[in-house]
């Protein structure tokens, strides 16, 4: 087997470890696809994606893994993953959502306790990450209170619609940043296994 | 005609079907690998159109099978023309033939009603077989489909086994109405067709609504792109963008303000509640 083919097969095996199931015939399709379109970045990416990924929900994870494995600078997952503001309208929703992300990589990212502590002060998004990773529901509740309180404090801006309020509550505890960090963290810690 | 992604892209464009490079690469791969192309994505992004244009540029006949709940082999594959067979038996009666003789005459191709799948396998020419909205059919049909798409042959017990003379290019579309079979998906090359981005949709508007002012076209597309971010019952499709652009052109509108939106919103959005929601939360429009 040529080194490139070996690499692709190896990549497919790693996809499996992340819970993206890939069959032998799909790997065979992927190899043939790459031999047809070559290694230009977009073509190579499209060839692997269309032969290996059949569920839309696997795309963001595939995207990130692809970039890590084939040595492309990590970037944010694609837009479609940015999430729908409505989905996150209640705290139930966001608990589920974030732990889901951690789950995707099986083990949470390795961030040492010490580093974590030193960064927590004044950075609610780090608390959010920590709470999600450790399944600390009290802390999540605390953060939710914090978020709601922040909305009240900001009343001076006048009455806004519910979506904007939720958005502001999320922003106040570093919602987006926490999601990015958890996701990247999971990936980079797993990347060491590559 | 389909010898490279770039060629597919340019020949699609000649038929006013604008796709980006990655889409044409996936289409190319499905054709070259001889795999069914499964096209998923929201309603109105051109999934069916893609199959139609693919048939046009490859000079193949398009055979379409529309799926629905309860679709079965008799409606998708073949059916014996029961009435005609009865007539035949009836006319033969006077001649006192044996059952064996009758059987041999009534189970022939003359009495066979070809449905789309059989037609695609039996066709003398190369075809594009479009299996539209496959997610609306049921599981039983799905496994049957998987069998056909694996062997490209079917057996008609009373007649013979029919193998495809030419393997068709198969395009399946799905709106994700229902999660459908893993096994079928694994056989396919997967294409996720999303709404076009700003640049691409603008290109489509310019192409299909000639005569529209550049500035207005930009405003329309920017507005629609924003509207799609809002969670609606039915997000505007490309066709609805085009209809709206045509309507505004017809009305000689030059400025997109809230009054124009209110009076033409029905062209773009199909639900009262969607219109109200966009008016309330949508992109900001100037008061007229």
| Three-class secondary structure of residue B169 per DSSP | strand
- Cβ contact B5–A50 (<8 Å): no
Subunit contact B190:A46, Cβ cutoff 8 A: no
**Residue B67 banded pLDDT, cuts 50, 70, 90:** very high
Q: Are B253 and B216 in contact (CB under 8 A)?
A: yes
CA distance A70 to A65: 8
**All structural domains of chain B with their residue ranges:** 5-69+119-192, 78-114, 198-281
Q: Cβ contacts (< 8 Å) between B40 and chain A: which residues?
A: 56
Rounded Cα distance, A36 and A50, in Å: 13
Phi, psi of B18, deg, nearest 5: -95, 120
* Helices within chain B (DSSP H only): 5-14, 21-33, 47-58, 73-76, 82-92, 99-106, 116-122, 139-151, 182-187, 198-208, 214-227, 238-250, 258-268, 272-281
Beta-carbon contacts of A57 under 8 Å, excluding residues fewer than 6 positions away, are none
Averaged pLDDT for residues B18-31: 94
Residue in the structure block whose two tokens are 């190369």 = B126
Residue at token pair 């066979």? B112
Rounded to an integer, the average pLDDT of B87-99 is 78
Q: Which of A25, A42, A84 has the CB atom closest to B231's CB atom? A: A84
Across the interface, which of B29, B40, B194 has its CB nearest the CB of A36?
B29
| B38 neighbourhood in chain A, CB within 8 Å | 54
Locate the chain A residue with the closest alpha carbon to B175: A56
Decide if pLDDT at B80 tops 60.
Answer: yes
Query: B-chain residues within 8 Å CB-CB of A49?
Result: 190
* Residue among A46, A62, A163 with most chain B CBs within 10 A, to mutate: A46
Chain A residues with CB under 8 Å of B174 CB are: none
How many CB atoms neighbour CB B37 within 10 A?
25
Chains A, B: CB contacts within 8 A come to 63
Using the predicted structure, report yes or no on whether residue B153 has a pLDDT greater than 90: no
- Report the distance separating Cα B164 and Cα B36, nearest Å: 15
Taking only the tens place, the pLDDT of each residue in B192-235 is 998 999 999 999 999 999 989 999 999 999 999 999 999 888 99
Residue numbers in B near A42 (CB within 8 A): 21-22, 25
Q: Distance, in angstroms, between A123 CA and closest chain B CA?
A: 29
Name which of B5, B44, B58 is nearest B27 in CA terms: B5
Tell me, what's the pLDDT at B189?
Answer: 96
pLDDT score for B62:
97
CA distance A69 to chain B (A): 20
Q: Which of A54, A57, A62 best probes binding to B when mutated, by most B CB atoms within 10 angstroms?
A: A54
Burial class (CB in 10 A: 0-12, 13-18, 19+), A101: buried
Instruction: Give the right CATH number for B5-69+119-192 from 3.40.190.10, 3.40.50.300, 3.60.70.12, 2.40.50.700.
Output: 3.40.50.300
Listed as ranges, residues in chain A with pLDDT below 50 are 74-121, 192-194
For B229, name the nearest residue in chain A, comparing CA atoms only. A84
User: Who among A46, A56, A86 is closest to B25 (CB)?
Assistant: A46
């Amino acid at each position: 087997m040529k080194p490139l083919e070996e690499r692709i097969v190896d990549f497919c095996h790693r996809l499996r470890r992340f819970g993206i199931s890939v069959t032998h015939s799909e790997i065979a399709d992927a190899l043939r696809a790459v031999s047809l379109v070559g290694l230009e970045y977009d073509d190579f990416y499209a060839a692997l994606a269309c032969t290996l990924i059949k569920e839309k929900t696997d795309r963001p994870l595939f995207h990130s893994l692809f970039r890590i494995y084939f040595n492309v600078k990590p970037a944010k997952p694609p837009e479609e993953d940015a999430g729908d503001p409505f989905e996150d309208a209640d705290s139930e929703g966001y608990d589920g959502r974030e732990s889901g992300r951690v789950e995707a990589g099986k083990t949470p990212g390795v961030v040492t306790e010490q580093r974590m502590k030193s960064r927590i002060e004044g950075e609610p998004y780090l608390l959010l990450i920590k709470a999600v990773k450790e399944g600390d529901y009290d802390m999540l509740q605390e953060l939710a209170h914090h978020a709601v309180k922040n909305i009240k404090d900001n009343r001076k801006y006048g009455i806004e619609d519910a979506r904007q309020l939720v958005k502001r509550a999320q922003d106040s505890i570093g919602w987006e940043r926490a999601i990015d960090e958890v996701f990247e963290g999971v990936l980079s810690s797993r990347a060491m296994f590559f | 005609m389909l010898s490279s992604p770039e060629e597919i892209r340019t020949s699609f464009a000649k038929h006013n079907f604008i796709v980006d490079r990655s889409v044409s690469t996936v289409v190319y791969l499905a054709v070259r690998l001889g795999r069914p192309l499964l096209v998923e994505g929201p309603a109105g992004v051109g999934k069916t159109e893609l199959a139609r244009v693919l048939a046009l540029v490859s000079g193949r006949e398009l055979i379409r099978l529309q799926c629905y709940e309860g679709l079965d082999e008799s409606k998708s594959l073949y059916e014996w023309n029961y009435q005609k067979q009865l007539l035949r038996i009836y006319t033969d009666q006077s001649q006192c033939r044996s059952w064996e003789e009758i059987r041999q005459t009534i189970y022939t191709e003359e009495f066979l009603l070809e449905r789309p799948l059989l037609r695609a396998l039996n066709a003398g020419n190369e075809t594009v077989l479009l299996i539209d909205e496959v997610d609306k059919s049921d599981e039983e049909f799905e496994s049957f489909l998987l069998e056909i798409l694996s062997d490209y042959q079917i057996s008609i017990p009373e007649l013979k086994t029919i193998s495809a003379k030419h393997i068709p290019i198969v395009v399946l579309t799905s709106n994700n109405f229902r999660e459908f079979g893993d096994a079928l998906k694994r056989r396919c090359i997967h294409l996720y067709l999303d709404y076009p981005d700003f640049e691409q949709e603008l290109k489509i508007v310019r192409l299909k609504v000639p005569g529209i002012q550049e500035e207005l076209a930009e405003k329309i597309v920017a507005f629609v792109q924003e509207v799609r971010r809002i969670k609606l019952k039915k997000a505007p499709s490309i066709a609805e963008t085009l209809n709206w652009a045509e309507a505004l052109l017809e009305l000689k509108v030059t400025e997109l303000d809230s009054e124009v939106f209110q009076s033409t919103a029905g062209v773009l959005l199909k639900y009262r509640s969607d219109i109200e929601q966009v008016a309330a939360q949508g992109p900001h429009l100037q008061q007229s």
